[in-house]
Structure 1
Amino acid sequence: MAHLCGLCLALRDEHGHAARLVTNYDGLLVSVLVEAQAPRSSPRRRAAACALRGFKGADVAEAEGVRLAAAVSLILAAGKVGDHVADGDGLYANRLVAAGASRLADRWAAAGTGTATALGLDPAPLTGAVEEQARLESVPGLGPLELTAPTEAAVAAAFAHTALLAGKPHNQETLREVGRYFGRLAHLLDAVEDLASDHASGAFNPLAASGTGLAAARGHCDDALAGLRLAVAELDLERPALVKALLVREVGHAVTRTFAAAEQESPQSPPRDPRLKPDPGGLLSGLCVALACCTCGLYRPPWDEDRFKSCGERFDCGGCDACGQCCDGCSGCCECCECCNCSCDC
């Protein structure tokens, strides 16, 4: 939450209130990566009360990591809005809405490019990814991984630059690999989630365009997830717990949930029991669930049946011998202590 609120406030402070609309869970990974490599380069500051936090104050991340996250979020959001305008999707088919959205996208692109340049990041891989994506979507016969290449390149550039901001250039190429795998997964999972709605509306979908079925798409995701895990394990991180929680554990859960939901919705599958609530899929819900893991169950997402139970009942901790607060399920006690900040020295 410190990174999420920090991203939102960085967008407001540098680019105005409207820019806060691009706050997103995927973008905060850039800030998380900077802090994980060099915690001293990501100080906290006390933020005033906010309606989205129940009118409470909070300690939020600041400095270059959140500024880079803000720049990346603005550039990619501008590209997405521009893509919707070009395709005439939904409300964007209205000329007045499209004109207003185009002007907003231009402002976001200029603002994001300016901040990226000030931080030493060449914005070309990010801005070029939008144009390249549009070009590839007009080329018939491409495979799914050819269609995800621009997203992979954009995320790889952003992730790699965190190594320079953190003063650990030896991490740069590994982070570029992490970014490529994460970008591929984000693009593919988005395509799986949108497959039915894109089919109904006639919108472009990389899986439908390339003739890729769910089984083949799952294979690509599993391969990318395996590569992501190996690449993250090679990183030199001073504070690895949150990175591993978000980029390894929760991305894996997101893959499982997204394909489970898609298979239930496919024509070949039996109809879903209407009494069952759908499980939210995708990277957004996966990263939200990460908050539950990192707080040992105290935070519960809106769809969790234990959300309104007492603190004691929500805890998922078995306890460690030193402090009684750490999770049994972590890969190591000290890693969990780092995650929950329990101050024990196990």
Structure 2
Amino acid sequence: MFGMVRPCRHRLGERLTAQWTAHLCGLCLALRGDHGQLARVVTNYDGLLVSVLTEAQAVRADAGRRTAGPCPLRGMRTASVAHGEGARLAAAVSLVLASAKVRDHVADGDGLLARRPVALAARRVAASWDRAGARTGSAVGFDTAVLVDAVDRQAGIEALAGPGTPILTVTEPTETATAAAFAHTAVLAGRAHNAGPLAEAGRLFGRLAHLLDAVEDLEADAAAGAWNPLTATGTPLAEARRLADDAVHGIRLALREVEFGDGGLAHRLLVHELPNSVHRAFDTVSCAHGSGPYAPPGAPGMPGGPVPPEPPRRDRRGLLAGCAVWLGLACTCQMCCGTYGDPWSGEHKEGVCSRYDCGGCCDCCNCCECCSRCGEDGGCDCGCDC
């Protein structure tokens, strides 16, 4: 799984977590349905936003849902998942994103890809993902050529970049590609008037993704002698942070111009989670409230506040059925690296190696009732400077 928007379930809350999971499963199943089981490895968080935005603009959000069968990653339980053109557009974008990532690793000679036979095989896989993405994109009226062209232009721009080259020259292809993908969600949702502001939000999202990737790879690239846009252009971290913060602010403003049906999840991810991605990349405080763990008196679970309600009891499985589910979870690594429902009780569990991206601030994620109201109707009155 890759991508910069990696929300924490503690911040999302139960309702938005269920929506997020529906889109994640929907993308995975769309990839499998159109391109086979192996295509599911390109499931990624950033491509998932395309599905989220499409549903957020729909008049009836539940119109793009279906019930999926049992899956080991869900503890062998059925679930309501995103289905339709939004999920397929997300699949097309994910395939091209994965292709670009593979090509980037090949160009850098990372690990085994430094070996010629492995690099050749990786290029063939990337090319097949490009073709698969084009087929799926065409089925929903989206020409992925703009994405492939951006990937192809990126290498030439990087080859010419040097000290003094504006960093935004390097991020332009990514900006152009994501702008096109975001704007097409308006077409799929039948809200063509949203295309302009969504294109702007997508352009800035692409800029942010490129910048944060460069920041996170800076030390590793320096150690390996690999190309990094910040090093190559001589862009200081302070300038990269300024551009990242400006992009976050610009996305927030652009989304105010978008007409949503139910924009709760889109608002949470693009307004509240993106700042956390910036904090994570620059290794600064990642709590959206700008301070350390804190919850005011009277908040749920705090002295003087209401006692949080107990979660509903889930259906329990018998011994043999639970053992069968346990085996499936173990074989798919969910018990080690993911999150899952207990095979017998259904209780939510975290894998041994799992890390929710809370930035150490889960104690303050629900520090005021206003945070739970953010995005309930597509707006925000929480005072979190949105």
Give TM-score, length-normalised by structure 1: 0.77
Mark the CA change 1:39 to 1:99 in structure 2 (over 3 Å): closer, same or farther. Answer: farther
Aligned to 1:322: none
Paired with 2:64 and 2:376, the residues of 1 have a C-alpha distance of 22
Query: How far off is 1:155 after superposition?
Result: 0.4
Using the TM superposition, give the Cα deviation of residue 100 of structure 1 relative to its aligned residue in structure 2, in angstroms: 1.9
Q: State the shift of 1:257 in Å.
A: 2.3
Q: Does 1:71 align with 2:113?
A: no
Distance 1:215 1:303 in 2: 28
Is the alpha carbon distance of 1:299 and 1:164 closer, same or farther for their aligned partners in structure 2, counting shifts above 3 Å?
farther
1:26 aligns with 2:46: yes
Match status 1:119 vs 2:140: yes
Match of 2:216 in 1: 193
The Cα offsets for residues 14-39 of structure 1, whole Å up to 9 and x where unpaired, read as 00111111100101100000000005
Query: 1:317 and 1:222, CA in 2 relative to 1: closer, same or farther beyond 3 A?
Result: closer
Task: Identify the match of residue 176 of structure 2 among 148, 153, 172.
Answer: 153
Q: Which runs of 5+ in 1 are unaligned?
A: 263-287, 289-297, 307-312, 319-326, 339-346
* 1:303 has 2:355 as partner: yes
- The partner residue of 2:272 within 249, 270, 282 is 249
Q: Could you tell me which of 253, 272, 278 is aligned with 1:230?
A: 253
SS of alignment partner, residue 212 of structure 1: coil
Distance 1:212 1:44 in 2: 45
Q: In the alignment, which of 69, 72, 80 is matched to residue 101 of structure 2?
A: 80
Secondary structure, aligned partner of 2:160: coil
SS of 1:57's partner is: strand
The DSSP-based 3-state class of the residue aligned with 2:70 is strand
Secondary structure of the residue that 1:100 maps to in structure 2?
Answer: helix
Alignment of 1:166-177 (within 5 A): 166-177=189-200
Asked if the contact 2:23/2:52 (under 8 Å) is kept, the reply is yes
> For 1:314 and 1:58, how far apart are their aligned partners in 2?
30
- Match for residue 329 of structure 1 among 371, 377, 380: 371
Provide the C-alpha distance between the structure 2 equivalents of 1:136 and 1:227, rounded to a whole number of angstroms.
Answer: 25
1:204 corresponds in structure 2 to 227
**CA shift in 2, pair 1:246/1:315, >3 Å:** closer
Instruction: Answer yes or no: is the 8 Å Cα contact 2:263–2:376 preserved in 1.
Output: no
1:330 and 1:336 in contact (8 A); partners too: no
**1:2 paired residue among 19, 22, 29:** 22
Q: Residues 253 and 300 from structure 1, CA distance in 2 versus in 1: closer, same or farther, beyond 3 angstroms?
A: farther
Q: Which residue of 1 aligns with 2:160?
A: 139
Decide whether aligned partners of structure 1 residues 20 and 127 sit closer, same or farther in structure 2, where only a CA change above 3 A counts.
same
1:165 corresponds in structure 2 to 188
Q: Paired residue for 2:292? A: none
SS at match of 1:60: strand
**Distance (whole Å) between structure 2 residues aligned to residue 159 and residue 7 of structure 1:** 16
Aligned 8 A contact 1:144 1:207 in 2: yes
In the aligned structure 2, how far is the partner of 1:43 from the partner of 1:80? 29
1:258 CA displacement: 1.7
Q: Which residue number in structure 2 is paired with residue 96 of structure 1?
A: 117
Which moved further from structure 2: 30-39 or 77-86?
A: 77-86
Q: 1:334 to 1:27 in 2, by over 3 A?
A: closer
| Inter-CA distance 317–2: structure 2 relative to 1 (3 Å threshold) | farther
Count of matched residue pairs: 290
C-alpha displacement at 1:147, in angstroms?
A: 0.6
**Alpha-carbon separation, structure 1, partners of 2:96 and 2:167:** 24
Q: Do the aligned residues in 2 keep the contact of 1:76 with 1:127 (CA within 8 Å)?
A: no
What is the RMSD computed on CA atoms of the aligned residues?
A: 2.8
Residues 264 and 374 of structure 2 are in contact (CA less than 8 Å); yes or no, is this contact kept in structure 1?
A: no
Q: SS in structure 2 opposite 1:167?
A: coil
Calculate the TM-score normalised by the size of structure 2. Answer: 0.70
Q: % of aligned pairs identical?
A: 53
> In structure 2, the residue corresponding to 1:237 is in which secondary structure?
coil
Distance change (3 Å), C-alpha of 1:113 and 1:55? same
CA shift at 1:108, angstroms?
A: 0.7
Distance 2:374 2:24 in 1: 26
Compare relative contact order (CA 8 Å, sep 6+) and give the higher one, 1 or 2: 2
Report the AA paired with residue 6 of structure 1. Answer: G
**Equivalent pair of 1:188/1:221 in contact (CA under 8 Å):** yes
